[in-house]
């Protein structure tokens, strides 16, 4: 019976000091092969110095349909931002 | 969902695109948007993969080591482009297996340019210069596509394409400085590839019924005719500079328009090739399917090995 190679998500750190960033995905039989393929597919021109791979099925994501209840409450909480507060003009460095 | 609700979602969706918002895989999208994207993106992916065949054929016959490493790297890039695009297409809810199945059964198309043979070394120069040149014009226009994964794949691809075109043009520059035989070989390659390259932009706007919808969805940012004109305007001076003659007696600079006028494209030939009657359609499919089938045992073995590793000893 034919079994297809699972899908993996690829994250690459382009240089030290920067975070790993999602670069794309690929198919591979196992983690080791996923790393090898990620190297060939996503870093042919020095795009990275470190690679993470994770099987796509292990990623849990929010549903965009719930974006309203999840992310909108933050919008009316302007008091979380420094610009919300009135200070005398003379004040510097705050 | 009721028809009314869908209508409402569609209106919101169109508004998001009009505001230049990107659409991401889990967002709601009209079924037709999904299907049109699967069709165009997979066609693009297939073109990258089939596009490796005419050039791959020449790797062992490259005239110098410098040319060989360049061609090898280019062909490897095309494999990468195909993979970026397949993954991006899979985010729309179709599997890699289904995509390949569509290619192998002829249900999905790929760029008709790859159904022309590459018979001389000058063809490697001409393909890099014209075919990758035309592809770049298409792809730059797509970096602003509305579907996020497609636009991101395009940005990555565009970064890699410029060397493809330059290595091709350099081959022709070298041939045009060579013997009469080499110059003739370069001119012959241009004669054969010029018109098929113009066809790469697809039918004229008047014959392209999907253009309006694709423009609205930002799956296309410029029309076929605009892109074709841009290609001609930028390519003609490049030919002249190295002493090549564009095989079009109607070609002339139109001062008023600021564009080149050009001759009639043979659309019958285009449709013949699209329908499978080009010089190499059968050969390309045969090689592609054989590669896939001959690799099946390797994929199976890798999977079996991976499964075995997971079983605790
Ligand atoms: Fe490419
Ligand atoms: Fe290319």
- Å from CA of B63 to ligand 1 middle: 23
Q: Tell me if chain B has a CB within 8 Å of the CB of A60.
A: no
% of residues, chain A, pLDDT over 90: 85
Question: What pTM, to 2 d.p., does this model score?
Answer: 0.93
Residue B312 has pLDDT above 80, yes or no: no
DSSP state string for B93-108: S--HHHHHHHHHTTSS
Contact B9, B2 (CB under 8 A): no
β-pairing verdict for A50-55 and A20-27: unpaired
The string of pLDDT tens digits covering residues A62-78 is 999 999 999 988 888 99
Distance, CA of B135 to CA of A6 (rounded, Å)? 31
pLDDT band at B313 (very low <50, low <70, confident <90, very high): low
- State the best of A7, A10, A29 to mutate against chain B, taking most chain B CBs within 10 Å: A29
The string of pLDDT tens digits covering residues B8-21 is 999 999 999 999 99
The string of pLDDT tens digits covering residues B121-180 is 999 999 999 999 999 999 999 999 999 999 999 999 999 998 999 999 999 999 999 999
The string of pLDDT tens digits covering residues B94-118 is 999 999 999 999 999 999 999 999 9
Name the residue among B290, B76, B302 with its Cα closest to residue B167. B76
pLDDT band at A1 (very low <50, low <70, confident <90, very high): low
pLDDT for res B220: 85
The mean per-residue pLDDT over the stretch B18-38 comes to 95
Contact B125, B171 (CB under 8 A): yes
- Å from CA of B168 to ligand 1 middle: 13
Burial classification of residue B217, based on how many CB atoms lie within 10 Å of its CB (0-12 exposed, 13-18 middle, 19 or more buried) = buried
Contact B88, B153 (CB under 8 A): yes
Is there a contact between A24 and B306 if contact means CB atoms under 8 Å apart?
no
Burial classification of residue B240, based on how many CB atoms lie within 10 Å of its CB (0-12 exposed, 13-18 middle, 19 or more buried) = exposed
Distance, CA of A77 to CA of B135 (rounded, Å)? 48
Q: Tell me if chain A has a CB within 8 Å of the CB of B311.
A: no
The mean per-residue pLDDT over the stretch B274-286 comes to 95
Is there a contact between B97 and A4 if contact means CB atoms under 8 Å apart?
yes
What CA dihedral angle connects B185, B58, B50 and A39, to 10 degrees?
Answer: -130
Distance, CA of B269 to CA of B72 (rounded, Å)? 31
- State the best of B5, B25, B87 to mutate against chain A, taking most chain A CBs within 10 Å: B87
Average pLDDT of chain B, as a whole number? 95
Distance, CA of B27 to CA of B31 (rounded, Å)? 12
Q: Tell me if chain A has a CB within 8 Å of the CB of B98.
A: no
């Amino acid at each position: 019976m034919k079994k297809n190679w699972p899908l993996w998500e690829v994250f690459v750190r382009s240089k030290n000091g920067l975070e790993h960033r999602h670069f794309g995905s690929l198919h591979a039989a196992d983690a080791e092969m996923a790393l090898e393929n990620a190297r060939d597919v996503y870093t042919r021109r020095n795009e990275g110095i470190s690679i993470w791979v994770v099987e796509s099925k292990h990623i849990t994501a929010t549903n965009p349909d719930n974006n309203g209840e999840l992310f909108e409450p933050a919008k009316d909480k302007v008091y979380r931002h420094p610009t919300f507060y009135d200070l005398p003009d003379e004040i510097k460095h705050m | 969902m009721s028809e009314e609700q869908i209508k409402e979602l569609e209106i919101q969706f169109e508004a998001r695109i009009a505001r230049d918002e990107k659409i991401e895989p889990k967002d709601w999208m009209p079924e037709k948007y999904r299907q049109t994207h699967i069709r165009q993106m997979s066609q693009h992916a297939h073109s990258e993969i089939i596009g490796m065949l005419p050039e791959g054929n020449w790797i062992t016959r490259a005239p110098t080591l410098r040319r060989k490493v360049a061609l090898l790297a280019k062909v490897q890039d095309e494999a990468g482009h195909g993979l970026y695009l397949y993954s991006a297409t899979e985010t729309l809810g179709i599997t890699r297996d289904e995509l390949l199945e569509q290619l192998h059964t002829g249900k999905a198309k790929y760029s008709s340019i790859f159904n022309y043979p590459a018979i001389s070394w000058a063809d490697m120069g001409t393909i890099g210069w014209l075919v990758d040149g035309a592809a770049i014009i298409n792809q730059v226009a797509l970096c602003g596509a509305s579907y996020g994964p497609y636009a991101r794949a395009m940005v990555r691809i565009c970064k890699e394409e410029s060397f493809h075109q330059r290595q091709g043009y350099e081959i022709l520059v070298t041939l045009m400085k060579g013997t009469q035989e080499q110059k003739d070989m370069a001119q012959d390659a241009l004669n054969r590839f010029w018109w098929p390259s113009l066809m790469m932009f697809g039918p004229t706007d008047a014959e392209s019924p999907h253009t309006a919808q694709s423009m609205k969805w930002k799956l296309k940012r410029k029309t076929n005719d605009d892109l074709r004109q841009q290609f001609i305007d930028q390519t003609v001076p490049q030919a002249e500079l190295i002493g090549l003659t564009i095989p079009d007696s109607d070609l002339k600079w139109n001062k008023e328009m600021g564009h080149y006028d050009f001759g009639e494209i043979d659309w019958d030939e285009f449709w013949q090739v699209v329908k499978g009657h080009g010089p190499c359609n059968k050969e390309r499919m045969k090689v592609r399917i054989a590669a896939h089938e001959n690799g099946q045992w390797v994929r199976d073995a890798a999977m079996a090995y991976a499964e075995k590793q997971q079983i605790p000893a």
